[in-house]
């Protein structure tokens, strides 16, 4: 890789760190927002759901609409809107204004992530794409480990408004770095919205979408309710819960990096087995929860596999679009993060159903079932890939 490509990779990593910090930090500030606006904690919590829904719905639509524009001015414009959205959050004195500002930020965040992945896939050597994509994804993980705790501390020290002045400042830094590193020659693709949306009806894309969604849902079935699991099943004192989450975050960084290695060659073929391993790890918690040590080992391994599929699936969406819908590659770049958000919502809902109707520890094997579903869909995709390759060879002969 050239020096310019390395600087671009670093910038895109910092960009996802900024975007991730802005998205996730609200979770650590719900009490402060609730008290500051005199609203119920559940009403404050709805900001998280609203962000995810706006992200999932708005990202693919706006990515398709904006795909005709050159990426350099488009990304800088969206970063400016991102900064403005965080500033609007910072001055919000009412729940309605706060909600509107978070919805704006959500949609812009989704499109920026899609563009970051598209820029990376278009500018780095093909053999380095997996590693670069994994580095970019690591920005989100680092945001959870460093950005969110730091933003939460700022909010608890100076008020939650101060946190979003902080994220707006991070956005300014990202704007400056992006203006210096994003290539100016990356043109948009002119295509009708109808043709691009056609990508979303393609059976291969749909299968790939649910591979990612089920894999993330498998983990979030457990992760969403990890605190009560730690307290009521492993009997870990409250004062140590944050340390367990820190452990989880640190281990998940390695998950993303392993994913980059996996994506370098035949990632889809390997994921068939990875998801079965994920299922076994999740199910192991049912047995290992009898001991604090073995239970924490299971939790660590859950973190180690959670993001292994990220780079492979991101590139898989792009490669499928390149073969079947060349004019919709930017839209395809948005589908991996969108499917992750859908998976988070699905896993949280599934976990909520389990905690209402079953025992807490049953989250483990229910999550494992979702991972098995991801593996089965990956088997289907892999077989379809092999048939496609065989068909090309037959035609060539």
Of 188, 216, 247, the residue that ends a domain is 188
Average pLDDT over residues 316-344: 82
- Do 173 and 203 fall within a single domain? no
Q: Which of 188, 216, 232 is the last residue before a domain boundary?
A: 188
User: Is 286 in contact with 364 (CB distance < 8 Å)?
Assistant: yes
Note whether 219 and 347 are same-domain residues: yes
Assess whether 251 and 366 both reside in one domain.
yes
Overall number of domains in the chain: 2
Same domain for 273 and 376, yes or no, is yes
Q: Which residue range(s) make up the domain with 309?
A: 197-396
Give the predicted TM-score (pTM) of the model: 0.78
- Give the per-residue pLDDT at 278: 97
165 and 205 inside one domain: no
Q: Tell me: do 209 and 328 sit in the same domain.
A: yes
Residue 204 vs residues 130, 165, 201: alpha-carbon distances, Å:
21, 42, 9
Say what the pLDDT of residue 395 is: 47
Fill in the DSSP letter of residue 124: S
Indicate whether 166 and 238 sit together in one domain: no
Tokens 């998940």 correspond to what residue? 252
**CATH classification at residue 235:** 1.20.1250.20
> Model confidence over 245-286: pLDDT tens digits?
788 888 988 888 888 888 767 778 899 999 999 999 999 999
How far, CA to CA in Å, does 85 sit from each of 59, 61, 141, 161, 350?
Answer: 16, 19, 22, 13, 32
**Separation of alpha carbons 250 and 269, rounded Å:** 27
Is 169's pLDDT higher than 90?
yes
pLDDT bracket for residue 194 (50, 70, 90)? low
DSSP, res 225: T
The answer to whether residues 228 and 98 belong to one domain is no
* Domain boundary residue, one of 165, 188, 211: 188
Q: Are 167 and 299 contained in the same domain?
A: no
């Amino acid at each position: 890789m050239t020096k310019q490509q390395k600087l671009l990779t670093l910038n895109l990593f910092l960009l996802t760190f900024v975007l991730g910090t802005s998205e996730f930090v609200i979770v650590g500030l719900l009490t402060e927002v609730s008290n500051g606006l005199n609203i119920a904690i559940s009403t404050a919590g709805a900001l998280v759901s609203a962000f995810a829904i706006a992200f999932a719905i708005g990202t693919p639509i706006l990515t398709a609409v904006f795909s005709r524009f050159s990426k350099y001015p488009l990304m800088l414009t969206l970063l400016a809107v991102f900064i403005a959205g965080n500033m609007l959050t910072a001055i919000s004195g009412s729940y309605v204004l706060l909600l509107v500002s978070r919805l704006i930020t959500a949609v812009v965040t989704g499109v920026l992530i899609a563009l970051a992945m598209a820029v990376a896939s278009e500018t780095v050597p093909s053999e380095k794409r997996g590693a670069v994509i994994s580095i970019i994804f690591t920005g989100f993980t680092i945001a959870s480990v460093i950005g969110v705790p730091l933003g939460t501390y700022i909010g608890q020290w100076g008020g939650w408004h101060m946190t979003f002045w902080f994220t707006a400042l991070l956005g300014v830094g990202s704007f400056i770095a992006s203006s210096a590193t994003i290539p100016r020659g990356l043109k948009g693709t002119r295509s009708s919205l109808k043709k691009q949306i056609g990508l979303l009806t393609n059976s291969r894309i749909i299968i790939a979408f649910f591979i990612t969604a089920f894999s993330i849902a498998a983990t979030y079935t457990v992760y969403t309710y990890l605190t009560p699991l730690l307290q009521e099943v492993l009997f870990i004192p409250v004062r140590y819960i944050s340390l367990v989450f820190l452990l989880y975050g640190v281990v998940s960084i390695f998950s993303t990096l392993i994913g980059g290695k996996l994506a370098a060659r035949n990632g889809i073929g390997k994921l068939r087995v990875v998801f079965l391993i994920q299922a076994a790890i999740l199910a192991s918690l049912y047995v290992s929860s009898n001991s604090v040590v073995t239970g924490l080992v299971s939790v660590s391994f859950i973190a180690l596999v959670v993001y292994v599929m990220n780079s492979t699936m991101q590139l898989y969406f792009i490669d499928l679009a390149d073969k079947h819908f060349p004019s919709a590659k930017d839209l395809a770049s948005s589908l991996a993060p969108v499917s992750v958000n859908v998976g988070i919502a699905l896993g949280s809902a599934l976990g909520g159903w389990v905690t209402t109707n079953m025992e807490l520890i049953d989250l483990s094997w229910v999550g494992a079932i979702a991972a098995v579903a991801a593996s089965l869909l990956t088997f289907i995709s892999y077989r379809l890939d092999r048939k496609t390759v065989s068909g090309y060879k037959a035609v060539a002969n």
